[in-house]
A = this chain, B = another copy of it.
Amino acid sequence: MARSVQPVIGIVGGGIRGSMFAAAVRQHPDARLAGICESDDGRRTRLAAELSVDTFADLGSMITSVPELTALVIATPDFAHRDVALLGIEHGLDLMIEKPLATAVDEARAIVAAAEAAGTMIMIGFENRWNPRFSAVRDQLAAAGSPVVNQVINLNDTRFVPTSMLGWAGRSTPGWFLMPHTLDLACWLSGASPTEVYARGRRGYLDARGVQTWDAITASFAMSDGSLLVLNSQWILTESHPSVFDFRYELHTEASSYYFDIADSGVTRYDSTGISRPQFGVVDGPPLTGVPIDMINSFIDRLNGVDLELPDGRHGELITRAIEAVHTSVDQGTPITI
């Protein structure tokens, strides 16, 4: 893929994901890493030292310092995508934005409208599409053409995630943090879209521990093809669970049933601390490999002109609209049209 001008990519947000994306861009032969924007001074200093990467206090500084910048990977917290996205679009940058596109429909719409006006590209980081388990099954489903009957998807985290891993769980919910993944997959595998949702929430455990959010949400979707979709996500599994996440998915067509257990890596370990399931979603290299790395590679391929079907801004907006409807339904107790 020889090109005279490689994409120059900046990372916004220097957390776990941003650091990983930086490493992925840096190791790619057909892209150049511009650096990482990170507003927290301490973390920024550490990143510079540990990754030997250029760092910036904000996106404005990066744009100024690296005028040849062509694209961004936005890995800020869920609720903090809009401003950096709009600033990037204003400067003509193509964007990969972590899911969800935004946590409010008006923000999602603003980003998509700006990108369409500016003619820049948006890709949403629905990384499960790069998991060969899901992509292979999607191919099988498309080839078989049997109508989907129903899908039931449980994606849960242990309480470690909202109480220890994330500093901003109180500004998110299991719905915003987990359901974009599962709703995107449900659409992508079935080819259908959500048309209406009824949802309920349960709270108490996290509230009592100072994280003001739902413990668990369940959402029942009507889909455009008449199939049923149920999403269950909770955030307070005990930490004794074998991995920090629990992801079980079943999809039934008239001709076949698929059951996925994504957290089951095929390796179970018992030791004095309990049970664990080592995860191999990202494997340190060199090179660094895994599902999110493959996603970044597709983003770079697309920037380099390869024709790929990627989750775009419009789809990101749909998912945001649907997840917002989940929360509206929880609050209002009525079904919400999406």
A266 near B264 (CB under 8 angstroms)?
yes
Other-chain residue from B149, B237, B240 in contact with A275 (beta carbon distance below 8 A) = B240
Q: Is the CB of A218 within 8 A of B237?
A: no
CB–CB B252/A271 < 8 A: no
Say yes or no: is A226 at the interface (Cβ < 8 Å to chain B): yes
Cα separation A265 to B267 with both chains bound (whole Å): 11
Which of A132, A147, A149, A270 has the most B CB atoms < 10 Å from its CB?
A270
- Complex interface bits, A243-277 against B, C-beta within 8 A gives 1, otherwise 0: 00000001010111111111011111111111100
Residue of B nearest to A134 (CB): B267
Query: Number of residues in A with C-beta < 8 Å to the partner?
Result: 65
Interface string of A22-51 (1 = CB under 8 A from B): 000000010000000000000000000000
Neighbouring B residues of A133 by C-beta, 8 Å: 265-267, 278, 280
Taking the closest CB of chain B, its distance from the CB of A311, in whole angstroms, is 20
Contact of A150 among B198, B216, B220, B260 (CB under 8 A): B216
Cα–Cα distance between A283 and B132 once the two chains are bound (Å):
7
- Cβ proximity bits A131-158 to B, threshold 8 Å, 1 near / 0 not: 0110011001000000101101010000
Assess whether A171 is interfacial by the CB under 8 Å rule: no
List residues of A (211-253) whose CB comes within 8 Å of B's CBs.
Answer: 215-216, 218, 220, 222, 226-228, 230, 232, 234, 236-242, 250, 252
A275 touches B278 (CB 8 A): no
Copies of this chain assembled into the complex: 4
- From A263, which residue of chain B is reached at the shortest CB distance? B266
- Bound Cα distance A270, B149 (Å): 14
A79 at interface by CB-CB < 8 Å:
no
Closest chain-B Cβ to A197's Cβ sits at a distance in Å of: 10
Q: List 23 A-B contacts (CB under 8 A).
A: A150-B202, A150-B218, A152-B152, A198-B220, A199-B220, A200-B220, A202-B226, A202-B227, A205-B254, A216-B228, A216-B252, A234-B252, A236-B254, A239-B272, A240-B271, A255-B272, A256-B269, A258-B267, A259-B268, A260-B267, A264-B264, A265-B266, A333-B335
Q: Shortest 8 CB-CB distances between A and B: which pairs?
A: A256-B271, A274-B274, A198-B198, A132-B280, A259-B268, A275-B275, A257-B270, A150-B216
